[in-house]
Amino acid sequence: MAVSDPAVRVQRDEKRLSVTLQPTLARLSPPEKLVLTYAALLPADFVMLPWLRPLAAEEFPELGKDAEPGYLDPWKKLLGRLMSLRLLQPTAEFNVARVHRLVQELVRQQTQKERLAALEILLVAQGKARSSALFNNWLQKDSRWEITPLAACAVHWMDSESTRLEGAWIASSIAGPLRELARYSEAEPMSRLALTIREKSLGPDHPDVADSLNNLALLLEATNRQTEAALLRLQAKAIKERNARGPA
C-alpha cells in the first residue's frame, strides 16, 4: 500500500540514504573524516573551505602545504574526493561548499561527544577570528564573500547552548558590515537576538550588553528610528556609568 503521508516518506527516504551513506563514511581516511566532522558543525549551506584547511592542518600538517608545480596538493585532492562522493557539494561561491544535513547528523552520531566539543571550540575560535578580520576589512570586495557565511554561523551558534555567547559575539561583530551595506533586514533580527542572549547570559549590566545596545542603536538610526535608538543609547550609557562606579 502506498504511503501518502509526506513525513513518513521523508523518514523512509532518510533511512535509505543513511544505509547508503554508512559504507561510504566508513571508507574515509582520517583526514577526510576530520574535514567532514568540521563541516558537520557548520551551517549545512555554508561550509567555509578556507576555514577548514588550517584547522585540519593542525592534525595533518600535509594538508596545509601547497604542492610543487605540476602536482596536486593533498588539500585539493581531499576536497576532490569528498566532492566526488557528494559528501561535500559545490556552491556558486568558490570558497563555500554545502553538506547534506543527514550527512552532518550521521557524522555527529559517529563522533565522540568530547571530540565534537573540542573541534567545535577550535571552529568557533576560527569564526571569531574571521569576524574580527572582516570587521576591519569588509570594504575590500575580496573579503565580502565571508559576510553571509559568518552571519549564518552567528545564527547557527546562537541557537546552541554551548556556543550561544560566542554566536552573539560574532553576530555583534558582523552586524556592522551588514549595516554599512544596507542589509538591514539581516542585521536587525541578528542584533536583537545577540542582545537578548547577552542580557540573559551575562546580566543586564554587563559591558557587552551596552555594546549590543549601541550597535542596535546605530542600526535604528540608519533606518530613521531615532526615538528608539535614543532610548537604547540612554540604556547603554547608564550601564557604562554603573560599571564605572563599581559595586555599591
- What is the CATH number assigned to the segment(s) 9-111? 1.10.10.10
DSSP assignments along 146-212, one per residue = GHHHHHHHHHHHHTSGGGHHHHHHHHHHHHHHHHHTT-HHHHHHHHHHHHHHHHHHH-TT-HHHHHH
Residue 248 has pLDDT above 50, yes or no: yes
89: β partners: 98
**Helix ranges, 60-112 (H):** 74-84, 101-109
40-95 pLDDT per residue, tens: 999 999 999 999 999 999 999 999 988 788 778 999 999 999 999 999 999 999 99
In this prediction, residue 106 carries a pLDDT of 92
Identity at 114, one-letter amino acid code: E
**Average pLDDT score over residue span 106-133:** 95
pLDDT digits (tens, 9 = 90+) for 90-114: 999 999 999 999 999 999 999 999 9
Residues 130-169: tens digit of each pLDDT? 999 988 888 888 888 999 999 999 999 999 999 999 999 9
- List, by residue range, all CATH 1.25.40.10 domains of the chain: 112-248
Q: Please, where in the chain does CATH 1.10.10.10 lie?
A: 9-111
Say how far apart CA 21 and CA 131 lie, in whole Å: 34
Which CATH architecture does the domain made up of 112-248 adopt? Answer: Alpha Horseshoe (1.25)
pLDDT surpasses 70 at 15: no
